[in-house]
Amino acid sequence: MADNELGLRYWQSGRITRRRFLGGVAVAGAGAAAIGLVGCSSGKKSGGSSQTPGASGTARVNDGTQDGAPTHLGGILRVRQNPALPSMNVFGPGIFPLAQGLFLGFTTFDHMWYVPTDTGQVELFLATKVEQPDATTVIATLGDATFHDKDPVNGRAVKASDVVASFKRFREEVGIGFDFLHNVMDDIVATDDKTVKITMKFPWAWVFTSSNAGSPIYSSIMPEEILHGHDDLLQKDAIGSGHWVLDSHENGANIKLRKFQQFRTYQNGKSIAGQPYLDGVDFKLITDDNAALAAFRANEIDSTGFSNRKQMEDTISALGDRIRTSSDLSRDYMCLMIRYDPPFNDVRVRQAFNLLIDRQKAIDLLEDGDAVKCGPVPPAHKLYALTEDSDDVMKEYFRHDVKDARDLLTAASWDFDSEWTMRHSNRQGDSDLAQFLQAQLGEGGVKINLEQQDLVKWFSQTLNQSDFKLTCFQHLPYEDPDLPLRFYLGPGDGRTDNFMRYQDDTVDAAILAAAKELDEDARIEKTKEAQRAVMRAYAPMFNIFSQISFGGSYSYVKGQITGRGSYGLFNRTTWLDKA
Amino acid sequence: MLRYTLRRLSWLPIILFGVSLIAFVVLRTLPGQDPATAIAGQGATPEQIQQLRDQLGLERPIFPISVTRTAVVVPAFHVHAHSQYSEWIGNLVRGDFSREFYSKKPIRDEFKRRFFPSFELVAMSLSISAVIGIAFGILSAVYRNSWLDYVVRLTAVIGASVPEFFLLTLLIVIPSRVWNYSMPVGGYVAPWEDLGRNLRLFVPAALVLGFAGSAGLMRLVRTTMLEVLRADYVRTARAKGLSGRVVVLEHALRNSATPILTALGTSFVAIFGGSVIAEVILSIQGLGLWFFTAAQQRDLTVIQFLVVYTAFVVVIVNLIVDLSYAWLDPRVRYN
C-alpha cells in the first residue's frame, strides 16, 4: 500500500526528483559563490593610522610621550595571553621557566637597570647610581622601594641583600651555555642595605645588557625570605617590587595584574610619579590566532599582533580610524645551524652551504618581502649590525651562487650521494624554513631529509644536547648583540661548548675583544669586527633574515613605547584615552 | 536489574586497572619520552638529569613485580615495595590524584575547577545533537523522498564529513569578518554568574559539536524509523484512528529507541573527544584544554589521570545506555 494512503505525507505535489534537487543545489551554490565574490561587507574603509617600515625595517621610536600627557588615568588594558604559564615559579623546572621569567620580569619584578635596544644606554631603574671603579667591578646604589604587600613579605623595604639573594638564587639554576651568572660574574655582595657590588672574573662590557646583569629574567629582584623553602608559594604567586601586582590567575591563565600603588617614583634620574598610568592589565588566554584576531576586531582586547602585513591591512580596512597600527623590525631571526663534525669542519663545505642560501628568496617566499637579511648580529641592533650596502664582507656573505657552491663542494670531495637529516621543530615558521632550505640546498646537489620534532623534544634534546647534523629554527628576540655573538663562542676559560660544538680561535678572540671593550665607540667597532670574523670563518650558524612584525591597538590606547626593543613591554606609560 | 548493574560495575575496576596500566607503561617507556630530560633541558648535565629523576621517582621500578632470567632459564621474580605504578595507583584509589609536574597543584583541585566547563559543553552539545538528530531524523523518515528528506540527508553527510576544527574556525572567522563579532574571551564564567556571557561562549561551540554529533544520528534515526513505520502494528495504530503525531512519536519512535540510544552513547564519546578541539580553539579552561596542554608539556601525572578518567566516563556511559534499554523496552530483562 502506498505511503499516501496512510496520510503520512502531508503534500502530494512538489515531489522532488533527485535530478531537480541536485539542480537546485547547484543554483544555490552558484548564488553563494556570487555573494562571496561580490562581498557582503560594506566596502573598504580607509584610515587607520599606521607606521610601516620600509625595506630597512626602521620604525619610529616612541618613548611614551608622543601622545602628550595622559588625560585619563586608570582603566584596564586587555591583551592576549598565549599560552598559559605552567606555573609562576621562575626557577624551574626545566625549560618552561623562560616563559614565566619573561612575563613576570616585565611586570611583577623590578630590576636595577635596563638597556633598551635603540640607545644601548643604561637606564637606571631601582639603582639611582652605578659606578665602575675598575673593569671588573660594578657598584650600584639603590633607591627606596618596597615589595608588594603580600605574606610573608608584607610590603617591607627592598634591600641590597634581596638583590644579592635573587642573583644568587638564579645562579643556582642551570644556565644556557655560556651565561653571565655562571661564567662572568664572580661574586655579588651587599656592602650595606643600599649598595650592591658585582665583581666579574674578567672585564665584560656587556654587563648591563639584557643578556647579562640587566636580564629581564635573571636580574629580577625578589624578597630573599621566599627564595628557598617556599616552592608552594612560588608556584602560584609572584611577589616583587615591580609596577604590577599579580592579582589573580587561573593556573597560569587569564592573568590579572593591578597597579602597585607604592611603586617607586624615580627612574633614570627623573620622576615617574603616577606610573603606571593604568589600573591594571588583564591577560586573556586566547590559544587560537583566528580567535585572537576576532577578539581584537570585536574590541574584546585592546591590542594585538598581526601575522603579516595583509592581515594588518585587512584589519585596517575593517576598523578604519578606530585603530592604530605599527610595525617594527624584530630582533628575532631565522637560522641554519650545522654541527661542526666532518665534513662540515671543512670551511669550503660551510661556505658552499652559505652560498646556496638565497636570503632574498627566503624573504620573498616565506615573509612576502617583509623581512631583512640577517648577519651574525640581527639588523634590529642598529648600533652594531653590519649592513650589506656598507660592508664588503657582508656583501660577500650574502652572495648567492649555486655554481660556486657546487665547485666548492666538489673541491671538498663532498659525497653528492649522501643524505643528511635536518631536524626542526613543529612550529610553522621552522617547518617552512626547513622546507625552503631543503629546496635551496638541493639546487646545489645536497640531499636533505627533513625530520620534524615536537618543539619540547627539539629544544630540550636536539638543540640543547646538540643531537643534530643540521637544524634550523627561529631565535628568540635578544635585546643586545652579545647573545647572538655568544652562540659562536667556543669552550674555554670555564665556558661550556656551544650548540654547534664549534671553535675557532680567531672568532673567539674577536668576540671576546668586543665583550671586554669598555669604551662604547670602540666596542661598536670591535663588535662589527667580530661579525666579520664570524662571516670570514663561515661559522656554522648561518642567519638568514629577521622578520618585520606588525601590531595594532585601538586609538584610545596611548603612550605606548615602540621601537625600543622589549622596553615597551613594561607598559608603564600606557594610558587609555577613554572615560 | 540490580544484580546486572552490580555485575557490570564490578568490571569497572578491572577495566580501569587495565587502562591505567597501559597508559602508565606507554607514557614511561616510549623512546624519546624521558620526562626528566624534557623537563631539565637547557643543557643540563647528566648529573642534573639524574637528580631530577631521583626527585620525580623515575629511578624506582615502574612495576611492583619485575622478572629477570637466571642462568638456569628460570625467571626470577622481584617484588618492589615502592614502584612508581603501585604508589600512583595506591594514591589514586585513596583519592589522591597526585600533582601536576610543573605547577605542583593537586590534580584534584584542578580537576574540580575544570570539570564544570567541560561538562557544560558536552551536555549542551549532546542535547543539541540529540534534539537535531532525532527530530530531523524523524522528519526525514516521515517525509521520505521530499525536499526535506534530501536536505536532511545532505546535511547529515556534510556534518559527518566536515571536520569539527574547520567548523569551529569558521565559527570564529565568519562572524568576525562580517560583523566584527567575537565570542567572549578571558576565562570561563558560570551560568549563574553571567548567563548571557556563558551562553555566548558555549552555545556556538555546542551548536557546532552538536551538529557534528547529530549527523550520524540523523541517518540512523531515519533508517530505523523507516523500518518501523512499515511494521504491521503501525498500520494497525493508524487504522485505529490515532493521529500521525501519536503514531510516530509514541509508537514508532519508542520502538526505534534502542539503536538510537546506542548511537547517542557513541555520539557522547565522539563529542567528548571533539570537545578537546573546541576547548583548545576557544580557549575554554576545561578538561580538554588541560589534556592538550599536559601533552605538550609532558606532564605525565595529568595525562595518566585524564586517561583513566576518560575510561571511567566511557564505561559509565555505556552502562547507562545498556540500563536504559530495560527502561524503554519492557521486553528487555537483565537477569
pLDDT at B7: 82
- The 3-state DSSP class for residue B311 equals helix
DSSP collapsed to 3 states, A2-44:
CHHHHCCCCCCCCCCCHHHHHHHHHHHHHHHHHHHHHCCCCCC
Distance CA A48, CA A30 (A): 35
Q: How many CB atoms lie within 10 A of CB A508?
A: 20
- Which residues in chain B touch residue A231, judged by CB atoms under 8 angstroms apart? 104
CB A53 within 8 A of CB A548: yes
pLDDT at B63: 72
User: For each successive 10 residues of chain B (335 residues), what is the average pLDDT?
Assistant: 81 86 79 63 63 71 68 64 78 83 85 93 93 92 91 90 90 93 88 93 92 89 88 85 83 82 84 87 92 85 90 88 79 66
Q: Cβ of A461 and B38 within 8 Å?
A: yes
- The 3-state DSSP class for residue A113 equals strand
- How confident is the model over A282-324, as pLDDT tens digits? 999 999 999 999 999 999 999 999 999 999 999 999 999 999 9
pLDDT at A73: 92
* H-state helical runs in B30-65: 35-40, 46-55
Q: Considering only residues 87 to 106 of chain B, which have any Cβ-Cβ distance to chain A shorter than 8 Å?
A: 101-105
Closest chain B residue to the Cα of A288, Cα to Cα? B281
Q: Is A96 on the interface with B (CB under 8 A)?
A: yes
Among residues B99, B150, B167, which one has the least CA distance to residue B305?
B99
Q: B200 to chain A, minimum CA–CA distance in Å?
A: 13
Q: Cβ of B103 and A456 within 8 Å?
A: no
- Which residues in chain B touch residue A25, judged by CB atoms under 8 angstroms apart? 154
Q: Cβ of A460 and B238 within 8 Å?
A: no
CB A358 within 8 A of CB A545: no
- Which residues in chain B touch residue A295, judged by CB atoms under 8 angstroms apart? 182, 185
Please give the DSSP secondary-structure letter assigned to residue B106: B
- Which residues in chain B touch residue A297, judged by CB atoms under 8 angstroms apart? 176, 180, 182
DSSP collapsed to 3 states, A443-484:
HCCCEEEEEEECHHHHHHHHHCCCCCCEEEEECCCCCCCHHH
pLDDT at B256: 81
pLDDT at B177: 93
Domain ranges, ordered by start, for chain B: 107-298
The CATH homologous superfamily for domain B107-298 is MetI-like (1.10.3720.10)
- Angle subtended by helix axes B287-297 and B107-142, to nearest 10: 120
- How confident is the model over B128-166, as pLDDT tens digits? 999 999 999 999 998 989 999 999 999 999 888 998 889
Q: Is A39 on the interface with B (CB under 8 A)?
A: no
Residue in A285, A297, A459 closest to B283 by CB: A285
Q: Is B293 on the interface with A (CB under 8 A)?
A: yes
pTM: 0.85
Q: A236 to chain B, minimum CA–CA distance in Å?
A: 7
Q: Is B237 on the interface with A (CB under 8 A)?
A: no
Which cell goes with A567? 622596553
Q: Is A8 on the interface with B (CB under 8 A)?
A: yes
CB B110 within 8 A of CB B100: yes
What is the separation, in whole angstroms, between the first and last Cα of chain B?
Answer: 7
CB A88 within 8 A of CB A294: no
Closest chain B residue to the Cα of A282, Cα to Cα? B186
- How confident is the model over B103-114, as pLDDT tens digits? 778 899 999 999
Q: Cβ of A300 and B146 within 8 Å?
A: no
Ranges in chain A, pLDDT < 50: 1-57
Distance CA B105, CA A249 (A): 13
Identify from B34, B37, B39, B42 which residue to disrupt to test chain A contact, counting A C-beta atoms within 10 A and taking the largest count. B42
- Which residues in chain B touch residue A86, judged by CB atoms under 8 angstroms apart? 102-103, 297
pLDDT at B24: 83
Residue in A290, A300, A461 closest to B184 by CB: A300
- How confident is the model over B202-215, as pLDDT tens digits? 999 999 999 988 98
Q: A230 to chain B, minimum CA–CA distance in Å?
A: 12
Q: A469 to chain B, minimum CA–CA distance in Å?
A: 17
Rounding to the nearest 10 degrees, give the CA dihedral for residues B67, B71, B72, B78. -20
Q: Cβ of A288 and B172 within 8 Å?
A: yes
Distance CA A281, CA A571 (A): 9
- The 3-state DSSP class for residue B99 equals strand
CB A376 within 8 A of CB A329: no
Burial group, residue A37, by CB count within 10 angstroms (0-12, 13-18, 19+): exposed
CB A577 within 8 A of CB A83: no
Distance CA B76, CA B61 (A): 15
Phi and psi, residue A475, nearest 5°: -70, 160
Whether ipTM > 0.90 holds is: no
Which cell goes with A130? 652605578
Residue contacts between A and B (CB atoms, under 8 Å): 175
Q: Cβ of B282 and A86 within 8 Å?
A: no
Q: Cβ of B178 and A40 within 8 Å?
A: yes
Q: Is A417 on the interface with B (CB under 8 A)?
A: no
- The 3-state DSSP class for residue A79 equals strand
CB A508 within 8 A of CB A492: yes
- Which residues in chain B touch residue A293, judged by CB atoms under 8 angstroms apart? 176
Closest chain A residue to the Cα of B245, Cα to Cα? A8
Residue in B150, B182, B281 closest to A298 by CB: B182
pLDDT at B38: 62
Q: Is A411 on the interface with B (CB under 8 A)?
A: no
